Structure 1
Amino acid sequence: MALYQTEAVVLGSKNWGDADKMMTFFTKERGLVRAAAFGCRRPRSPLAGGMQMFSYLDLQLSEGRRVDTVRQCLLRRHYRKLSEDLTAMAYGSFVAEFLREFLPEGQPEPRMFAALLDILDAFERRNPRVTAVAAVYQLMEFTGLQLRYENCVHCGRKIEGDAAFSMHEGGVLCRDCATPDAKAFPEELRHFIVGLRDFDWQRGELRLSSAKLIAAEQLLLAYLQDLLGRPLKSLAFIQQLSMTGS
């Protein structure tokens, strides 16, 4: 069985057997990878510390016929808020679930991997809800699922002012091309979403508007549910926290 090394972020895990886990990693060299971590639930396992959500790792894996196997791991970074703060954890889980659901396995995305590291770092310093919404708008740009906001998806005309929006058409429509199912798309909301999509985590500061954030979030969630055919499971965790005031 061939061995390979890669940088990776833990996006998910499921208990398997008495002491094992089935892991989902987003790797720099191979994209989404699912692998078995045998014995990692035993306290003395050398893998135990690394197989936690959002851990940034150096991994050694062996290729398998059905599933790869984790051989070694070295923890490169532990994100404290994502493991200790319930709100950050909930919104981080939303980003992780998006990646698990919409990325194909085995397709390298090194620029997307670099973007994810910036996003995980942002969760340590920024509002988790804003970070999660901006993160998924940004990560969608790498998936082929992105929506268009600057030019009419029918005629290509550059959009100025208020317009219309249709998920089924793939984005913004000018007034001349607006379809019956299209909804009003105010200019301010469009600019706000583009600002989230293009936000520079290293240098930027977001000018927040609660109303625009809610509208941008609702549009995003409706689109993802339309693609997936159901709501993302992580949203139940977020809703539970909002009800308890955590």
Structure 2
Amino acid sequence: MALYQTEAVVLGAKNWGEADKMMTFFTRERGLVRAAAFGCRRPRSPLAGGMQMFSHLELQLAEGSRVDTVKQCTLKQHYRNLSEDLTVMAYGSFVAEFLREFLPEGQPEPQMFAQLLLILAAFEVRNPRVTAAAAVYQLLEFTGMQLHYEHCVHCGKAITGDAFFAQSAGGVLCEACREAGAVSFPDDLRRFILSLRDFNWRENEPITISSRLLLSAEQLLLNYLQSLLGRPLKSLAFIQAL
């Protein structure tokens, strides 16, 4: 079995057998990878500390015909709030589930991986609800399935004020291109979504929040994700239970 090294974030972990886990990693070099971590649920296992949700790791894995196997791991970063605060954990799980559902296996996304590390760090210090919404708006941009908010999706005209929105069309529409089923799309909501999508996590600046706009931006995002999946994300039940 060929061995390989990769930097990774844990996006999923399911108990498997008596002492094992089936893991989902987002790796810098290989994208989404699913691998078995044998014996990691035993207290003395060298893998026990690393096979936890959101852990940032350096991994050694062995390639397998059906599934890869975790051989060694070194913990690079532990995110305390994501492992101890239920609210932060719930919103972090929303981001993790989004990645598990929308990333193809084995496709490297190094820029997306770097963005995810910034997002995980932001969960430690920022409002988790706002962080999760901004995170998914940003990460959608790497998938090719993002909606468009700056130019009319039909004619390409730059949008500067109130407009219309049609999920089926892929985003914002100008007055001249308005189609059946398009809904009003206020300019303040459009600009708020863009502020989430374009927010720079490296800058120590607050995100200006309006509860009304946040709720509208969340609903638009959740409706779109549900339309792509054909069902709501399971992590929403976790959030709603808080």
Query: Aligned pair 1:218/2:216, yes or no?
Result: no
Q: Distance in 2 between matches of 1:198 and 1:66?
A: 39
3-state SS in 2 of match to 1:69: strand
Percent of aligned pairs with the same residue? 76
Q: Distance in 1 between matches of 2:34 and 2:207?
A: 35
Q: Distance in 1 between matches of 2:116 and 2:33?
A: 15
Q: Distance in 2 between matches of 1:129 and 1:108?
A: 28
Q: How many residues align?
A: 241
3-state SS in 2 of match to 1:154: coil
Deviations 1:190-242 (A, max 9, x none): 0000000000011132111110000000000000000000000000000000x
Deviations 1:22-61 (A, max 9, x none): 0000000000000000000111100000000000000000
Partner of 1:133: 133
3-state SS in 2 of match to 1:117: helix
Partner of 2:163: 163
Aligned-partner residue type, residue 89 of structure 1: M
Q: How does 1:1-246 map to 2 (within 5 A)?
A: 1-203=1-203, 204-241=205-242
In structure 2, runs of 5+ residues without a counterpart are: none
Q: Distance in 2 between matches of 1:109 and 1:134?
A: 19
- Shift of residue 160 of structure 1? 1.5
- Shift of residue 73 of structure 1? 0.1
Q: Distance in 1 between matches of 2:178 and 2:23?
A: 45
Deviations 1:50-91 (A, max 9, x none): 000000000000000000000000000100000000000000
3-state SS in 2 of match to 1:222: helix
Partner of 1:244: none
- Shift of residue 143 of structure 1? 0.4
RMSD value, Cα: 0.5
Q: Distance in 1 between matches of 2:69 and 2:228?
A: 31
TM-score, normalization by structure 1: 0.97
Query: Which structure 1 residue ranges, 4+ long, deviate > 2 Å from structure 2?
Result: none
Q: Distance in 1 between matches of 2:183 and 2:75?
A: 47
- Shift of residue 179 of structure 1? 1.0
Q: Distance in 1 between matches of 2:102 and 2:118?
A: 20
TM-score, normalization by structure 2: 0.99
- Shift of residue 101 of structure 1? 0.2
Deviations 1:121-147 (A, max 9, x none): 000000000000000000000001100
